[in-house]
Amino acid sequence: MTEAAAAQAPAQQKTGGKPSYDWIRARIAQVPRVKIAITPTPLIEAPNLAKHLVPSGDGPRIFVKRDDLTGVAFGGNKLRNLEFRLAKTMEDKPDTVIVGLDLQSNSARQTVGACNKLGLRTILVLEGQRPAEVQGNLLVDYLLGAEVHFARDRADQRRLLDELAAKVKAAGGRPHILNDNPMFDVASALAYIETTIEVLEQLEAENLKPSCFYMSSSGKGQAGIVLAQRLFNAGFAMHGVTATSEFDVPSRTADIANQTARTLGLDIVVKPSDVVNFEGFVGERYGVPSEAGNEAVRLFARHEGIVLDPVYTGKCAAGMIAHVREGRFKKGEIVVFVHTGGMPAIFTWNKLWLDQTA
């Protein structure tokens, strides 16, 4: 949002000393977007899982925000932020979107699906080697019609992004490199302010209030939920669980939250000390399933029929499950698990699920 747009946004409407949901939505509505995701997504209770974790019944109630059901290309959280990122992309009037991501990227899959919805060709440059057996997200990338290239490392990926853009341009096309899109971080935070509002409204309809949110996070989406904490003074904790050791997540989250607050013209400052993120569930390394994460995937599947993935949501669920088992929550408290998607990854790691006794 530009300063001029912020000035034109509605005057702040307050409810009990805090901004109203509609006021924040109106602020976000000043930011360009294209409609892609199916929202709001459902919020469902997981009573069987809660009972399994605390058989006495003295544990929390667990609710799952089904952001795996956003509708395009198996869904997932990225479709929400792509609405803002691709709106910025469309300002260039491209015919081809080029993006560099990881080999089994959920973001790549959702980006191709979203670009298909917008009538855009997609070129993927994925870091890693083409596997002998194409499975998971990569298989879906091909199904969706992406042109796929493989890069040895980040430097090679950057070189290919620029080369492919030049090639498209030389052929008369109009390329846009999504990695250079300035909305990358802020888009995720905007999306998860909205998601938090959805959850709060869905719980309020049942006369309930959340005690804690859990979400797989390397900082971007978590920044939005942290901002919502501050905006609505809703009294819930936000527990991010990271699946990578690449970032200092509290600092990154605070930076993105503050950038987003400025975008919306909000007088809010988030400090790293305001951010709670757990690094102890990464396991061996990013992209490799962990024992605790695999158990969480099985528990969600076998008690609630909900499929997680072993790379992101499984590890986040492992953090939530560990905390519930440790007795961190009182009887009847409301714990919200944000399911960010990633289901195709279970096919990449198919052998993990063949043991029926685990």
Domain positions in the chain are 3-75+184-353, 79-180
pLDDT value, residue 19 = 86
Are 244 and 279 in contact by the 8 Å Cβ rule? The answer is no
- What are 74-113's pLDDT values in tens digits? 999 999 999 999 999 999 999 999 999 999 999 999 999 9
Q: Report the pLDDT averaged over residues 233-246.
A: 93
pLDDT value, residue 355 = 76
Q: Average pLDDT over the chain, rounded to whole?
A: 94
- What are 26-51's pLDDT values in tens digits? 999 999 999 999 999 999 999 999 99
Are 213 and 316 in contact by the 8 Å Cβ rule? The answer is no
Are 144 and 113 in contact by the 8 Å Cβ rule? The answer is yes
CATH 3.40.190.10 fits domain 79-180: no
- What are 332-357's pLDDT values in tens digits? 999 999 999 999 999 999 999 997 66
The angle formed by the CA atoms of residues 33, 260 and 270, to the nearest 5 degrees, is 155
Handedness of CA 7, 9, 14, 20 (dihedral sign): negative
Q: E strands along the chain, which residues?
A: 14-15, 18-19, 43-45, 61-66, 96-102, 121-127, 147-151, 175-177, 212-216, 237-241, 276-278, 334-339
**168 is written with which tokens?**
């498209």
pLDDT value, residue 103 = 96
Q: In sequence order, which residues have a C-beta less than 8 Å from that of residue 68 and are 6 or more positions away?
A: 74, 75, 76, 307, 313, 339, 340, 341, 342, 343
Task: For the beta carbon of residue 249, count every other beta carbon within 10 angstroms.
Answer: 23
CATH of the domain spanning 3-75+184-353: 3.40.50.1100
Are 39 and 193 in contact by the 8 Å Cβ rule? The answer is no
Instruction: Specify the DSSP class assigned to residue 245.
Output: S
Q: How confident is the model at residue 12 (pLDDT cuts 50, 70, 90)?
A: low
Length of the chain: 358
| Distance, CA of 289 to CA of 292 (rounded, Å) | 9
Same fold yes or no, 3-75+184-353 and 79-180: yes
| Distance, CA of 315 to CA of 195 (rounded, Å) | 21
Which residue type, as a one-letter code, is found at position 255? D
Q: How confident is the model at residue 14 (pLDDT cuts 50, 70, 90)?
A: low
Are 356 and 144 in contact by the 8 Å Cβ rule? The answer is no
